């Protein structure tokens, strides 16, 4: 512990965000990070606890507490304080394949479980992680390191999201020859097209992909396995196949008027926007513009917030976000103690921008869509919503939602974006390999395992566990890589945790 009293001497300090009205003028990342000298003092705040919940990654009351990757947080926090940036990078990379991604988009489960947060403010671990990886690129520590020996084994990875990239990265480092198939025109999966540019600039993804290519990974874009390439072809050409195609079936909202023109799934809206941004700077018009329009977003999660932020950058006339759940408390409730994940109200960047421009929070809680209203030409013109209340069902004893009589309200809307989550993998990919699905339409495996019902076919990420966080996808990819390696070699020396 480099600074035993650091948590008492130094206040938590993090990067400054560009003011909302300024940052909505473009799609760039908008945080101004601390200089190294100040970041080192943030490392000094780590207490190096005897029981570091920050790296535990365990379930407490059904929620993850600490980092699922089991990052060696106290170690590299201390190394940051000591100014040993290269060793900090080496410790970080032992458990995390892609800190350049997680330091931008992870919700910082480590910080929620930080002991400093019990009676004060948590260590700025996510910002320390960002400083470590960006310094590594600047100093050359993160340059390509191709394996010195090849095993002669060939592995196909279907899908280039965080899980697929993690599988490919580790198996390639082991010496296997890895080819990644991606149906889109760019590598990255949800990192490329599911997360907006202002949260994760695509040059960051491309930078890492280039290094992986230099290390020997082959990427084939514009190739849709199950349509362009048959499953049995891959099984014939490769020793192992890993399915990492995500949970790509968006949950729909079935209400009268659903066929109105102007209703889109959030994932399609975000993908088209980012593709047009990268292809032409939004000049080609191949995206859904919300400029001058009233926008209603159904769903209160991260994807819904990303839709808010994107609509704000288009210059929408208004934006409203509909959430079925009640508003969470602003501070921890007594029945939600540390180190549980804090179930508190979070106002994210898109909502901050809407508040700055329109003067009020865009969210309406405990409400749902009752009807989509359309004009005589079938175009969307409004959304009828109704308030909900939670009531106890007398028969089952469970809490259920019921409509509040007389609470209906009509919102003007020319664009509706459905951000209600995902239901599972797309069946045509599973069918291409004849793998079994479970009741949630995810690819079925034994508990804690990654091999499917079909010999030599493995799975990882959202396609395996259902919709989740990037950090969980990386963990699944790393563990699946070890399972594949063991099946190929009879043992594995891959350290995944």
pLDDT tens digits for 224-236?
999 999 999 999 9
pLDDT of residue 1: 66
Phi/psi of residue 41, nearest 5 degrees: -70, -30
Average pLDDT, the chain: 96
Extract the tokens encoding 174: 């082991």
User: Which residue intervals of the chain bear CATH 1.10.1060.10?
Assistant: 6-139
The pLDDT of 468-473, averaged and rounded, is 96
pLDDT in tens, 354-370: 999 999 999 999 999 99
Extract the tokens encoding 220: 């084939």
In which band, very low, low, confident or very high, does the pLDDT at 50 lie, cut at 50, 70 and 90?
confident
The pLDDT of 314-322, averaged and rounded, is 98
- CATH number, span 263-418: 3.50.50.60
Q: pTM for this structure? A: 0.96
In which band, very low, low, confident or very high, does the pLDDT at 383 lie, cut at 50, 70 and 90?
very high
Q: Looking at domain 154-248+423-489, which of 3.50.50.60, 3.40.250.10, 1.10.1040.10, 3.90.180.10 is its CATH number?
A: 3.50.50.60
Q: In 3D, which of 98, 156, 120, 131 has the Cα closest to residue 31?
A: 131
Rounded-to-integer distance, Cα 282 and Cα 203, Å: 17
- Please name the residue that has the structure tokens 């210059």: 315
pLDDT of residue 222: 98
Q: Is the pLDDT of residue 87 over 70?
A: yes
Contact (CB, 8 A) for 99 and 133:
yes
Q: Is the pLDDT of residue 101 over 80?
A: yes
Q: Is the pLDDT of residue 32 over 80?
A: yes
Q: Is the pLDDT of residue 497 over 80?
A: no
In which band, very low, low, confident or very high, does the pLDDT at 150 lie, cut at 50, 70 and 90?
very high
Rounded-to-integer distance, Cα 476 and Cα 461, Å: 5
6-139 is a CATH 1.10.1060.10 domain: yes
Q: Is the pLDDT of residue 384 over 90?
A: yes
Rounded-to-integer distance, Cα 386 and Cα 41, Å: 50
User: Which residue intervals of the chain bear CATH 3.50.50.60?
Assistant: 154-248+423-489, 263-418
The pLDDT of 135-147, averaged and rounded, is 97
Instruction: Give the pairing of strands 16-17 and 31-32.
Output: antiparallel
Q: Is 493 left (phi over 0), alpha (psi -120 to 50) or beta?
A: alpha
Rounded-to-integer distance, Cα 189 and Cα 184, Å: 8
Extract the tokens encoding 181: 């198939």
Q: Is the pLDDT of residue 94 over 80?
A: yes
pLDDT of residue 399: 84
Rounded-to-integer distance, Cα 106 and Cα 110, Å: 10
In which band, very low, low, confident or very high, does the pLDDT at 397 lie, cut at 50, 70 and 90?
confident
In which band, very low, low, confident or very high, does the pLDDT at 322 lie, cut at 50, 70 and 90?
very high
């Amino acid at each position: 512990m480099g600074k035993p009293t650091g948590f008492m001497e130094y206040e938590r300090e993090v990067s400054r965000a560009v003011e909302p009205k300024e940052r909505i003028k473009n799609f760039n990342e908008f945080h101004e990070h601390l200089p190294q000298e100040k970041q080192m003092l943030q490392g000094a705040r780590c207490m190096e606890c005897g029981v570091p919940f920050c790296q535990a990654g365990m379930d407490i009351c059904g929620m993850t507490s600490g980092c699922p990757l089991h990052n060696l947080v106290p170690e590299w926090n201390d190394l940051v304080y000591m100014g040993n940036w290269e060793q900090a990078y080496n410790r970080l990379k032992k458990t995390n394949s892609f800190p350049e991604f997680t330091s931008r988009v992870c919700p910082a489960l480590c910080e929620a479980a930080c002991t400093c947060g019990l009676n004060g403010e948590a260590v700025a671990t996510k910002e320390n992680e960002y400083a470590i990886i960006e310094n590594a690129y600047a100093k050359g520590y993160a340059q390509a390191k191709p394996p010195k020996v090849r095993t002669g084994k060939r592995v196909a990875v279907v899908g280039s999201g965080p899980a697929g990239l993690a599988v490919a990265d580790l198996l390639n480092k082991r010496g296997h020859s890895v080819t990644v198939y991606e149906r889109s025109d760019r590598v990255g999966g949800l990192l490329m097209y599911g997360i907006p540019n202002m949260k994760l600039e695509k040059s960051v993804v491309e930078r890492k992909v280039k290094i992986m290519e230099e290390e020997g990974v082959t990427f084939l874009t514009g190739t849709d396995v199950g349509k362009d390439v048959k499953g049995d072809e891959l099984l014939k050409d490769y020793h192992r196949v890993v399915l990492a195609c995500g949970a790509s079936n968006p949950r729909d909202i079935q209400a009268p008027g659903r066929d109105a023109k102007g209703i889109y799934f959030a994932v399609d809206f975000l993908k088209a926007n980012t593709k047009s941004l990268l292809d032409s700077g939004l000049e080609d018009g191949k995206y859904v513009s919300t400029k001058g329009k009233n926008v209603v977003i159904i769903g209160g999660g991260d994807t819904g917030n990303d839709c808010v932020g994107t609509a704000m950058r288009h210059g929408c006339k208004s934006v409203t976000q509909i959430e079925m759940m009640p508003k969470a408390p602003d501070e921890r409730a007594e029945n939600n103690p540390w180190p549980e994940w804090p179930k508190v109200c979070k106002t994210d960047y898109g909502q901050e921008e809407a508040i700055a421009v329109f003067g009020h929070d865009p969210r309406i809680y405990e409400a749902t869509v009752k009807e989509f209203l359309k004009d005589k030409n079938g175009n969307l013109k409004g959304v009828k919503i109704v308030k909900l209340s939670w009531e106890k069902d007398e028969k089952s004893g469970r809490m259920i939602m019921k409509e509040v009589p007389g609470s209906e309200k009509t919102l003007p809307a020319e664009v509706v974006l459905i951000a209600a989550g995902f239901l599972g993998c797309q069946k045509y990919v599973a069918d291409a390999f004849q793998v079994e699905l479970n009741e949630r339409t995810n690819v079925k495996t034994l508990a804690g395992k990654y091999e499917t019902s079909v010999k030599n076919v493995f799975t990882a990420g959202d396609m395996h566990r259902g919709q989740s966080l990037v950090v969980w996808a990386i963990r699944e990819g790393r563990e699946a890589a070890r399972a594949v390696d063991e099946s190929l070699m009879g043992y594995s020396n891959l350290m995944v945790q």
